[in-house]
Structure 1
Amino acid sequence: MKTSRDLPNAPAASPNALPTDLIGREFSPNPGYLNTASHGLLPARAARRLREAVEDLTVGRIDQEALIEEVEAARVLWARLVGVAPERVALGSTVAAQVSVVAAALPRGAEVLTVEGEFSSVPTPFLHADDLRLRVVPPAGLADSVGPDTALVAVSAAQSADGRIADLAAVREAARAHGARILVDATQAAGWMDYDAEADDFVVCGTYKWLLGPRGASFMVVPPDGGGLRPVQANWFAGADRWESCYGPVRDLAPTAARFDLAPAYLPWLGTARALEVIEEVGIDAIRAHDLALAERFRSGLERLGRPAAPESAGSPIVSVPGAGAAVEELARAGVSVAARDGGLRASFHLYTTEADVDRALNALEDTSVDTPIDVPG
């Protein structure tokens, strides 16, 4: 599998411009698609690999060892993206299932601190775990709410509903001061944010949004010491020697974070590996600059229309327009794909989005200004 390090004479990506030839090869024009925060678009190379794999499955060309090599390539690419060793990365299928592994390791009575409006995959496993105390606080007060009873702080790096960026530096400082660990959900951040997972204890991430993969694959970063996790989902794939772990109880698990792996559903991982190649080749600096510039263009246009974005969206490629959720269906009829979240309209911008897409959305919103009531916060 080629990565950017294998490409001959590959030019370094500019922090201010995307490689338009690569973007043109990987993405068909999708006018008005402003909904990456719900699901990213699949790159062409990922789609080709999935078609090849489906064809192989129909005619019996199934080489599981070769498929696992591709799964392992995804682990390496993700680890490089977030700045950790691959040995710290476990493979899963959903964020909630991996958060549940962390919840199962906490002592009875432990306090878990999270924020209001957090995506449910983060707090729900703690709520339903044995005898844990889940405390929910306003996002702005998260760091100040960490106390001596806090065992774990669980928060998204970027919030799903409104794009709010967590002050992770403040949370880390408060957690360390009180001996608490941190779990960060990077699902709405990895792929555009310059995020360093080395700074946090546990990191979980679904791959089907900003990482552009198919749904059904997720990553978890664990501390070098394992963080006290127990392999409650242990299986043959988590064995120290997988092909010697197919029968009977698996007594020797992998010495790395792979001991927390789930046996992979191959197709999502094949697509994820190719999608991560694209992210790496384009470069996070270029993606971030592009995404944030488009988000700012959208915010400026909203101001001109008298429909200001939520201030919580500042500095994020996820932009929320409070009270405008009713406009989502009308925008869809105009060929603009956004989402309704928490009563608001949510638009999100990624490497395949263009200025023309932003302007299309603004024009559609202007056309709905008379018929669609908008509650502008005062």
Structure 2
Amino acid sequence: MLYIPIMPLLHVSVRGTMRDMTSTALANAIESFTHTRGYLAAATMGLPPRAAVTALAEELQRWSAAESEPMDYGDIVERTRAHYAKLVGVNASRVAIGSQTSVLASVIACSLPAGSEVVCVTSDFTSIVFPFLQQQGLTVRSVPLAELAEAVSDTTNLVVFSLIQSCNGAVADVEAITRAAARHGARTLCDVTQAAGVHPVDASRFDATVCHAYKWLCAPRGVAFLTISEDFAEHITPVQAGWYAGEDIWCSVYGPDMTLATDARQFDVSPAWQAWVGAEHSIELFANIDIAEVWEHSIRLGNMLCDALGIEQQDRAIVTWPDESGADLVKLEAAGITASGRAGRLRAAFHLWNTDDDVAAVIAALRA
């Protein structure tokens, strides 16, 4: 349990203050969400914007009325693909779709030659580690995040890491890691699941990235993305190829002839239709705001909480502190605050909808 120093709580008129401090686009985006008070769990599961909820409800009604047509979802997927491409700074032709990050990472793991060395991060999320541990013939080394760049050597084939660590919110030193990889001729695979939507992402800096959109991007679960450079794609086999990976999707539903897409769509997995109906609105929302502004807003609240807790500022959207017994998490839950516990620490995640009042509420709950 964390000792909370006695100090005045900060109370402000939050909604008015936020409008004064943020751009119009971000203020409008914030107003797209409801039931956000005390919700500090975007690192676990995002909240849907109202437009996504409305679209999903309408789609379920169409489906129940036998009015849905499978071909109609194609345009929704392509618009969503384009929104995500804009968000992470690549051409839509370099974006593949899927449903889980582990599946997308497994495609890359399956394509590495026997004897390849993969360097991962100790305590990273297992969806990007297990696929490589499962491949016989690979050498997988795990090192602390702070030592990742130094751990890359001439024997390294692939560097695998999360841009932001799920367990504690630590942000990878992308410049040092990519520079080390380039110096030693290694490829990079970056998981941006805990970053996209809250921290700026430039996917073009990596050979490949994976992202599940149900966290900070606030999409329904079952919507994931792979970005892959044209050069790296030439070395990866689309082992999960199905009808949706075809050059002409609706001409690929029967074999044995196979003509896959020539761009990243060759790695597509058939979409979970209804999930993409909601995802289109969520990802469009984030593609059209300044994510750097979201990050600044989130780390301001995170550092405010650190100050109130009497701990060192972490400069992160995810603030953690020791809570082995879970006592602090129980206090927050009793006060109606939604957070999470990971690796023996309490994890409070600040997103665009959070306010100064959420910080005050956490401190009040812990002191109770």
TM-score for both structures, normalised by structure 1: 0.88
Unaligned runs of 5+ in 1: 1-13, 368-378
In 1, the alpha carbon distance for the partners of 2:30 and 2:86 equals 25
| Residue number among 221, 225, 230 corresponding to 1:219 in the alignment | 225
- Contact 1:339/1:346, CA 8 A, preserved across alignment: yes
What secondary structure is seen at the aligned counterpart in 1 of 2:211? strand
In 2, the alpha carbon distance for the partners of 1:234 and 1:245 equals 11
| Residue number among 251, 263, 266 corresponding to 1:244 in the alignment | 251
Structure 1 equivalent of residue 84 of structure 2: 78
What letter matches 1:261 in structure 2? D
Structure 2 equivalent of residue 362 of structure 1: 363
Structure 1 equivalent of residue 154 of structure 2: 148
How do residues 271-350 of structure 1 correspond to structure 2 at under 5 angstroms?
271-303=278-310, 308=311, 314-323=314-323, 325-350=326-351
Q: CA deviation at 1:18?
A: 4.8
Structure 2 residue 187 is the aligned partner of structure 1 residue 181: yes
Cα deviation per residue 1:257-306 (whole Å; 9 max; x = unaligned)? 00000010111111111001211333213212211211111111111xxx
Moved more, 226-235 or 33-42: 226-235
Structure 2 equivalent of residue 11 of structure 1: none
| Residue number among 19, 22, 31 corresponding to 1:17 in the alignment | 22
Structure 1 equivalent of residue 11 of structure 2: none
| Residue number among 97, 104, 117 corresponding to 1:91 in the alignment | 97
What letter matches 1:85 in structure 2? N
- Contact 2:318/2:350, CA 8 A, preserved across alignment: yes
Runs of at least 4 residues off by over 3 Å? 18-21
How many matched pairs? 347
In 2, the alpha carbon distance for the partners of 1:151 and 1:77 equals 31
Query: What percentage of aligned pairs have identical amino acids?
Result: 38
In 2, the alpha carbon distance for the partners of 1:317 and 1:40 equals 14
How do residues 115-154 of structure 1 correspond to structure 2 at under 5 angstroms?
115-154=121-160
- Contact 2:243/2:252, CA 8 A, preserved across alignment: yes
- Contact 2:30/2:352, CA 8 A, preserved across alignment: no
Shift in alpha-carbon separation, 1:163–1:267, aligned structure 2, 3 A: same
Structure 1 equivalent of residue 266 of structure 2: 259
Structure 2 equivalent of residue 374 of structure 1: none
What secondary structure is seen at the aligned counterpart in 1 of 2:154? coil
In 2, the alpha carbon distance for the partners of 1:16 and 1:73 equals 31
Unaligned runs of 5+ in 2: 1-18
In 1, the alpha carbon distance for the partners of 2:335 and 2:213 equals 29
What letter matches 2:317 in structure 1? P
Q: CA deviation at 1:25?
A: 4.1
What secondary structure is seen at the aligned counterpart in 1 of 2:341? strand
Cα deviation per residue 1:117-148 (whole Å; 9 max; x = unaligned)? 10111111000012111101111111001011
- Contact 2:84/2:284, CA 8 A, preserved across alignment: no
What secondary structure is seen at the aligned counterpart in 2 of 1:228? coil
- Contact 1:17/1:289, CA 8 A, preserved across alignment: no
- Contact 1:90/1:220, CA 8 A, preserved across alignment: yes
How do residues 54-69 of structure 1 correspond to structure 2 at under 5 angstroms?
54-69=60-75
